[in-house]
């Protein structure tokens, strides 16, 4: 299959404008979270969109869609800055936006949709559209940058995004404790009542450990971690403090759980209280690991092998409890039954919007 | 490419049909057709634009809202949703042949879930009421526009409102998990959900800030944040507005993230002080109000850093609030600014523009020049951390030509913002006020794309037509500013 990799927005726009009416296009970045490609589609790689325009004083950065998140983070770090998301796998910035990526920092900073403040899009007919820009506050026009978050390239080509960046924290540290699913609600209550400002919470079924991360001054991090340890100990748990140096290892272990080399990840989203109640009902399942961002109401059900029957059953029970499901990190084509879990109540409206922006259904 | 809608609308007969339907289906008290009563809805906070709506519909329940709006859609009658009417861009300006749908009676907080840190509310819930209702759970709703004691959460969603404390925590869009929307085709759809992320394109993010053009919020899922353990608030005074602008840049570069950084110039301080007696020193040209929040340790360390930063930038005097009462006084002064401007001049235009923060000092200098050249006093009070300016261009309406000069000056200020890569509006919205300036910020392709999105959601063009996106008809035949006739003031004559 022929692949094009335009070096500029204009080049991409011209290429799209000149395509025949029946030609289909699949947009690809680094292929991290890519769905199977329809056989007849042309491939448009974003890797030629490789520019970065950092405005450190404004805490904004304009990034070509083909830049890797890891490359961007390295560059930002030299200026004492970061993009405040920590997805479990690398990928292009365009891919991060198109798949709505995030990690445990979702609790404090939200997902990529909360950090995107501008976008340059190329529509299927080659029209170039901008929204937002290098200002963090802006309500002029429709927020097209949000529209393409999580759209998997269906609505438009993301050529460039402007992102809000944050200063790297002076210090970070955490608390780890083995916590049963039924005890997670109690931890959330402790954090709220003690008014502790955790930036990340992450529980994985493989170890049964909850990791809570704090950021700020060394005194502030230490006092919050100490207080949380006291509260968890009062519940009979056995928390331990984690210094900054040890956090990287913990995060890497958790990334391995959430993003296995093979298999399927089913994301479940539900109101936090309902998600945690549902979690207590599912028990341990062979071949399926679970990673939960408890306060955020998000769980990843990870089937490392090709047997997806259990995943299907869990997905259906999550839906029955009010949750929404989405397949992520697809390494292989999966069964139709699993795809049926991806029912969005807004699908009909999305189809209307897609028909407005891409009436010929070019982007697939 | 001609934009806009060409579809026919309902007309007088359709309005009468709707009135009869609403009285029957929702009750007689949901319909306002008396001329004098309708006049009360002829404008929002932007009083320079007025139009008397053909009819006003005031549902008491969401079922009545849905029933009524579906009938409007069936009849092809344009509708304009309205919350508390505090908007400053004319977003709730009625259509004379349409219906204003007032959401102010839909005031129920339907559910509070402290574990999930969310509340589900009807659109007419007042912003400050929600924070008060969840305070006992140690939670609050972050967006805090200056009008928060009156403005509604539905209005905040429509405008993607900001507020003083959004610098650290984000704007309305960052604090709304989901919205159930009654679309302009009469369908109910949940956009977003009740978690921090839901699958699919972020239509919720597009709806928030769409100024009532993509439908009406029926139910809103608000994210709540933990009340900070501690606050420290200070006012730093500067001999020069530009120096205060520089101080903001220094603060940001130092990696400090205050909960709020607000700026006032001398004129604004004088007005606020006269209105509130808060204790602001009037010996200086500019002041920064900086608030830190978080744990006690974080706040104390941050305060030391801020003091060092503002001193390095030339702060002449620093007032640190030592009690909650002092902090309240500082905020009362800042939040009174728009109302207090009335003490300085009989009339003023509130401008709302955004610039990249690093351009702050340069833009403030330009605003000073614009005021000087126009012979008008411009008060500056704004969210400095966000680069969101609110210059108050004062004028005397009795002076011939003064309003026109003020309007020109206000537009020139926005053009300065745009020339710096900024935006027409940071939180007040485009509404009717800036609709004809949209081509100055966006290309024709950008606007055509916005239209494609809008038509996909509202094919008949019924939801708040004439707002947000320019049309040749709208911007070519825009009516002049509303001026009260002396006989109207005396109550002896009515224009309509």
| Chain B from 451 to 480: CB within 8 A of any A CB | 452-457, 468
Q: Which of B117, B195, B425 sits opposite A269 (nearest CB)?
A: B195
pLDDT tens per residue across span A129-150: 999 998 988 999 999 999 999 9
Range A171-255 has CATH code 3.30.70.1150: yes
Q: Where does CATH 3.30.70.2190 sit in chain B? A: 230-339
Q: Average of pLDDT values for B350-355? A: 94
End-to-end distance of chain B based on CA atoms, in angstroms? 36
Q: Average of pLDDT values for B36-53? A: 93
Q: Average of pLDDT values for B432-437? A: 94
pLDDT tens per residue across span B275-307: 999 999 999 999 999 999 999 988 999 999 999
Q: Are A264 and A311 spatial neighbours (Cβ–Cβ below 8 Å)?
A: yes
Q: What is the CATH number of domain A259-347?
A: 3.30.70.920
Q: Is B187 on the interface with A (CB under 8 A)?
A: yes
Between CA A146 and CA B171 the distance in angstroms is: 14
- Predicted confidence at residue A339, as pLDDT, reads 79
Please give the residue that has the higher pLDDT: either B490 or A52: A52
Residue B294 to residue A216, Cβ atoms within 8 A:
yes
Residues of chain A contacting B448 with CB distance shorter than 8 Å = 127, 129
Q: Is B83 helix (H, G, I), strand (E, B) or coil?
A: coil
Q: Which of A53, A124, A137 to mutate to test the interface with B (most CBs of B within 10 A)?
A: A137
Residue pointed to by tokens 């499901």: A325
SS (H, E, C) chain A: CCEECCCCHHHHHHHHHHCCCCCCEEEECCCCCCCCCCCCCEEEECCCCCCEEEEHHHCEEEEECCCEHHHHHHHHHHCCEECCCCCCCCCEHHHHHHCCCCCCCHHHHCCHHHCEEEEEEECCCCCEEEEECCCCCCCCCCCHHHHCCCCCCCCCEEEEEEEECEECCCEEEEEEEECCHHHHHHHHHHHHHCCCCCCEEEEECCCCEEEEEEEECHHHHHHHHHHHHHHHHHCCCCCEEECHHHHHHHHHHHHHHHCCCCCEEEEEECCHHHHHHHHHHHCCECCEEEEEECCCCEEEEEECCCCCHHHHHHHHHHHHCCCEEEEECCCCCCCHHHHHCCCCCCHHHHHHHHHHHCCCCCEC
Q: Which of A128, A151, A189 sits opposite B115 (nearest CB)?
A: A189
Q: Which of B89, B111, B116, B458 to mutate to test the interface with A (most CBs of A within 10 A)?
A: B116
Q: Average of pLDDT values for A90-104? A: 95
Residues of chain B contacting A55 with CB distance shorter than 8 Å = 356, 358
Average pLDDT, chain A: 93
pLDDT tens per residue across span B200-239: 899 999 999 999 999 999 999 999 999 999 999 999 999 9
CATH class belonging to B11-105+481-490: alpha beta
How close B446 comes to chain A (CA, Å)? 4
Q: Which of B2-6, B22-26, B385-389 has the lowest mean pLDDT?
A: B2-6
pLDDT winner (highest mean) among A62-76, A274-288, B284-298, B396-410: A62-76
What number of other Cβ atoms are within 10 A of residue B472's Cβ? 10
Q: Which residues, in sequence order, are bridge partners of residue A204?
A: A209, A291
| Chain A from 184 to 213: CB within 8 A of any B CB | 185, 188-189, 191-193, 195-197
Chain A residue with the nearest C-alpha to that of B252: A57
Q: Are B432 and B467 spatial neighbours (Cβ–Cβ below 8 Å)?
A: yes
pLDDT band at B386 (very low <50, low <70, confident <90, very high): confident
Residue B9 has pLDDT above 60, yes or no: no
Q: Which of A128, A139, A267 sits opposite B160 (nearest CB)?
A: A139
Task: Name, in order, each residue with C-beta under 8 angstroms of A99's C-beta and a sequence gap of 6 or more.
Answer: A32, A33, A91, A150, A152, A328
Chain A residue with the nearest C-alpha to that of B161: A139
Q: What residue segments make up the domains of chain A, in order of their start?
A: 3-167, 171-255, 259-347
Between CA A199 and CA A108 the distance in angstroms is: 5
Task: Name, in order, each residue with C-beta under 8 angstroms of B307's C-beta and a sequence gap of 6 or more.
Answer: B234, B318
Residue A144 to residue B358, Cβ atoms within 8 A:
no
Residue B271 has pLDDT above 60, yes or no: yes
Q: Average of pLDDT values for B91-115? A: 97
Residue B170 to residue A110, Cβ atoms within 8 A:
yes
Please give the residue that has the higher pLDDT: either B4 or A162: A162
Please give the residue that has the higher pLDDT: either B253 or A188: A188
pLDDT band at B165 (very low <50, low <70, confident <90, very high): confident
Residue B495 has pLDDT above 70, yes or no: no
Residue pointed to by tokens 């369908």: B187
Q: Are A265 and A328 spatial neighbours (Cβ–Cβ below 8 Å)?
A: yes
- Predicted confidence at residue A114, as pLDDT, reads 97
Provide the greatest CA pair distance for chain B. 69
Residue A320: half-sphere exposure toward Cβ, Cα within 13 Å: 10
How is residue A37 written in tokens?
Answer: 């490609």
Between CA B183 and CA B212 the distance in angstroms is: 10
Task: Name, in order, each residue with C-beta under 8 angstroms of B240's C-beta and a sequence gap of 6 or more.
Answer: B285, B286, B314
Q: Are B171 and B162 spatial neighbours (Cβ–Cβ below 8 Å)?
A: yes
Q: Which of B191, B294, B442 sits opposite A197 (nearest CB)?
A: B294
Q: Which fold has domain B345-438?
A: Alpha-Beta Plaits (3.30.70)
- Predicted confidence at residue B341, as pLDDT, reads 85
How is residue A144 written in tokens?
Answer: 């097209």
How is residue B426 written in tokens?
Answer: 């940071």
pLDDT band at B1 (very low <50, low <70, confident <90, very high): very low
- Predicted confidence at residue B484, as pLDDT, reads 61
pLDDT tens per residue across span B356-383: 988 888 898 999 999 999 999 999 988 8
Between CA B379 and CA B359 the distance in angstroms is: 18
Q: Are A244 and A173 spatial neighbours (Cβ–Cβ below 8 Å)?
A: yes
Task: Name, in order, each residue with C-beta under 8 angstroms of A234's C-beta and a sequence gap of 6 or more.
Answer: none
How is residue B296 written in tokens?
Answer: 């006690």
Average pLDDT, chain B: 92
Q: Is B450 on the interface with A (CB under 8 A)?
A: yes
Residue A1 has pLDDT above 70, yes or no: no
Q: Is A148 on the interface with B (CB under 8 A)?
A: yes
Chain B residue with the nearest C-alpha to that of A110: B196
Q: Are B438 and B423 spatial neighbours (Cβ–Cβ below 8 Å)?
A: no
Between CA A99 and CA A39 the distance in angstroms is: 21
How close B12 comes to chain A (CA, Å)? 31
Residue B301 to residue A267, Cβ atoms within 8 A:
no
Residues of chain B contacting A145 with CB distance shorter than 8 Å = 205
Between CA A122 and CA A128 the distance in angstroms is: 5
Angle separating helix axes B241-253 and B296-312, nearest 10 degrees = 130
Q: Average of pLDDT values for A13-32? A: 93
Q: Where does CATH 3.30.465.10 sit in chain B? A: 114-226
Q: Is B171 on the interface with A (CB under 8 A)?
A: yes
- Predicted confidence at residue A335, as pLDDT, reads 65
Between CA A302 and CA A299 the distance in angstroms is: 10
* Distances B477 to A118, B38, B43, B473, B494 between C-alpha atoms, Å: 32, 24, 19, 6, 24
- Predicted confidence at residue B2, as pLDDT, reads 42
Q: Which residues, in sequence order, are bridge partners of residue B379?
A: B392
Between CA A139 and CA B190 the distance in angstroms is: 22
Q: Is B179 on the interface with A (CB under 8 A)?
A: no
pLDDT band at B342 (very low <50, low <70, confident <90, very high): confident
Q: Which of A98, A77, A71 is nearest to A165 (CA)?
A: A77
User: If you count residue pairs, one on A and one on B, with CB atoms under 8 Å apart, how many are there?
Assistant: 283
Of chain B, the percentage scoring pLDDT greater than 90 comes to: 78
Of chain A, the percentage scoring pLDDT greater than 90 comes to: 81
b or e along B256-282 (b: 16 or more beta carbons within 10 Å of the residue's beta carbon)?
A: bbbbbbbbbbbbbbbbbbebbebebee
pLDDT band at B496 (very low <50, low <70, confident <90, very high): very low
Q: Which of A15, A147, A33 is nearest to A25 (CA)?
A: A15
Residue A327 has pLDDT above 90, yes or no: no
Between CA A228 and CA A208 the distance in angstroms is: 18
Residue B490 has pLDDT above 90, yes or no: no
Range B114-226 has CATH code 2.102.10.10: no
pLDDT tens per residue across span B107-155: 999 999 999 999 999 999 999 999 999 999 999 999 999 899 999 999 9
Hey, which CATH number is domain A3-167, 3.30.465.10, 3.40.50.460, 3.30.420.40, 3.30.1370.10? 3.30.465.10
Q: Where does CATH 3.30.43.10 sit in chain B? A: 11-105+481-490
Q: Are B146 and B337 spatial neighbours (Cβ–Cβ below 8 Å)?
A: yes
Residues of chain A contacting B295 with CB distance shorter than 8 Å = 195-197, 216, 220, 223-224
Between CA A223 and CA A142 the distance in angstroms is: 43
Provide the greatest CA pair distance for chain A. 68
Between CA A272 and CA A278 the distance in angstroms is: 10
Residues of chain A contacting B195 with CB distance shorter than 8 Å = 269-272, 275, 296-298
Between CA B32 and CA B170 the distance in angstroms is: 38
CATH class belonging to B230-339: alpha beta
Q: Is A123 on the interface with B (CB under 8 A)?
A: yes
End-to-end distance of chain A based on CA atoms, in angstroms? 15
Between CA A284 and CA A98 the distance in angstroms is: 32
Q: Average of pLDDT values for A328-351? A: 79
How is residue A115 written in tokens?
Answer: 């950090």
Do A171-255 and A259-347 agree at the fold level? yes
């Amino acid at each position: 299959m022929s692949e094009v990799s335009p070096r500029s927005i204009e080049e991409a726009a011209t290429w799209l404008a000149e395509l025949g009416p029946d030609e289909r296009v699949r947009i690809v970045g680094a292929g991290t979270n890519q769905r199977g490609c329809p056989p007849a589609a042309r491939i448009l790689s974003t890797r030629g969109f490789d520019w970065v325009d950092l405005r450190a004083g404004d805490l904004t950065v304009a990034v070509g869609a083909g830049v890797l998140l890891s490359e961007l983070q390295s560059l930002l770090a030299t200026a004492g800055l970061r993009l405040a998301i920590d997805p479990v796998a690398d990928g292009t910035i365009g891919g991060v936006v198109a798949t709505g990526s995030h990690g445990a920092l979702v609790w404090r900073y939200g997902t990529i949709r909360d950090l995107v403040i501008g976008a340059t899009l190329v529509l299927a007919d080659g029209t170039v559209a901008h929204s937002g820009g290098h200002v963090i506050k802006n309500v002029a026009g429709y927020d097209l940058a949000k529209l393409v978050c999580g759209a998997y390239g269906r609505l438009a080509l993301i050529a460039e995004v402007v992102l809000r960046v944050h200063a790297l924290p002076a210090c970070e540290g955490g608390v780890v404790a083995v916590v049963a699913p039924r005890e997670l609600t109690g931890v959330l209550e402790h954090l709220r009542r003690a008014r502790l400002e955790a930036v990340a919470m992450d529980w994985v079924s493989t170890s049964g450990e909850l990791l809570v991360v704090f950021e700020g001054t060394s005194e502030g991090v230490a006092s919050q971690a100490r207080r949380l340890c006291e509260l968890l100990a009062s519940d009979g748990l056995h928390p331990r403090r984690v210094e900054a140096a040890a956090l990287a290892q913990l995060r890497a272990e958790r990334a391995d759980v959430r993003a296995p080399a093979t298999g399927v990840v089913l994301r479940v989203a539900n109101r936090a209280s309902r998600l945690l109640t549902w979690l207590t009902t599912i028990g341990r399942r062979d071949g399926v690991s679970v990673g939960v961002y408890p306060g955020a109401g998000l769980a990843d059900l990870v089937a490392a092998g090709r047997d997806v029957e259990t995943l299907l059953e869990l997905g259906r029970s999550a839906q029955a409890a009010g949750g929404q499901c989405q397949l992520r990190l697809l390494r292989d084509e999966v069964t139709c039954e699993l795809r049926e879990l991806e029912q969005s109540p807004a699908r009909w409206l999305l189809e209307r919007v897609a028909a407005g922006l891409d009436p010929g259904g070019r982007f697939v | 490419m001609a934009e806009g809608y060409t579809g026919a609308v309902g007309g007088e007969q359709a309005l009468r049909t709707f009135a009869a339907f609403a009285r029957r289906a929702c009750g007689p008290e949901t319909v306002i057709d008396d001329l004098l009563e309708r006049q009360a809805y002829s404008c929002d906070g932007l009083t320079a634009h007025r139009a008397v709506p053909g009819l006003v519909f005031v549902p008491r329940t969401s079922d009545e809202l849905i029933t009524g709006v579906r009938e409007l859609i069936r009849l092809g009658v344009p509708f304009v949703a309205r919350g508390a009417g505090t908007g400053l861009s004319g977003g709730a300006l009625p259509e004379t042949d349409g219906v204003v749908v007032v959401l102010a009676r839909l005031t129920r907080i339907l559910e509070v879930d402290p574990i999930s840190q969310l509340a589900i509310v009807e659109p007419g819930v007042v912003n400050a009421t929600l924070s008060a209702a969840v305070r006992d759970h140690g939670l609050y709703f972050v967006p805090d526009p200056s009008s928060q004691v009156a403005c509604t959460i539905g209005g905040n969603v429509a405008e993607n409102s900001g507020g003083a404390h959004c610098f650290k925590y984000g704007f309305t869009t960052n604090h709304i998990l989901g919205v159930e929307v009654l679309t302009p085709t009469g369908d109910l759809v949940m956009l977003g959900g009740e978690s921090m992320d839901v699958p699919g394109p972020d239509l919720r993010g597009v709806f928030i800030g769409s100024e009532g053009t993509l439908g009406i919020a029926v139910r809103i899922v608000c994210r709540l944040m933990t009340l900070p353990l501690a606050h420290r608030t200070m006012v730093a005074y500067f001999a020069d507005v530009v120096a205060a602008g520089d101080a903001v840049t220094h603060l940001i570069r130092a990696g400090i993230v205050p909960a709020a950084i607000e700026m006032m110039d001398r004129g604004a301080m004088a007005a606020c002080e006269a209105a509130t007696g808060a204790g602001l020193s009037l010996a200086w040209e500019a002041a920064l109000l900086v608030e830190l929040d978080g744990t006690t340790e974080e706040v104390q360390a941050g305060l030391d850093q801020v003091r060092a930063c503002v001193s390095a930038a030339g702060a002449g005097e620093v007032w640190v609030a030592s009690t909650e009462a002092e902090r309240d006084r500082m905020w009362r002064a800042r939040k009174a600014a728009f109302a207090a401007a009335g003490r300085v001049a009989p009339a003023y235009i509130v401008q709302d523009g955004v610039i990249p923060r690093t351009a702050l000092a340069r833009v403030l200098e330009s605003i000073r020049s614009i005021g000087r050249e126009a012979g008008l006093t411009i008060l500056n009070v704004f969210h400095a951390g966000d680069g969101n300016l609110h210059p108050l261009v004062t004028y005397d309406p009795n002076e011939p030509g003064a309003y026109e000069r003020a309007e020109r000056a206000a537009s020139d200020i926005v053009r300065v913002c745009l020339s710096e890569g900024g935006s027409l509006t940071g939180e007040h919205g485009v509404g009717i006020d800036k609709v004809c300036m949209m081509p100055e910020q966006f290309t024709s392709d950008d606007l055509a794309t916005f239209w494609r999105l809008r038509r996909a959601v509202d094919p008949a063009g019924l939801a708040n037509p004439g707002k947000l996106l320019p049309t040749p008809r709208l911007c070519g035949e825009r009516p002049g500013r509303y001026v009260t006739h002396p006989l109207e003031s005396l109550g002896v004559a009515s224009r309509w």
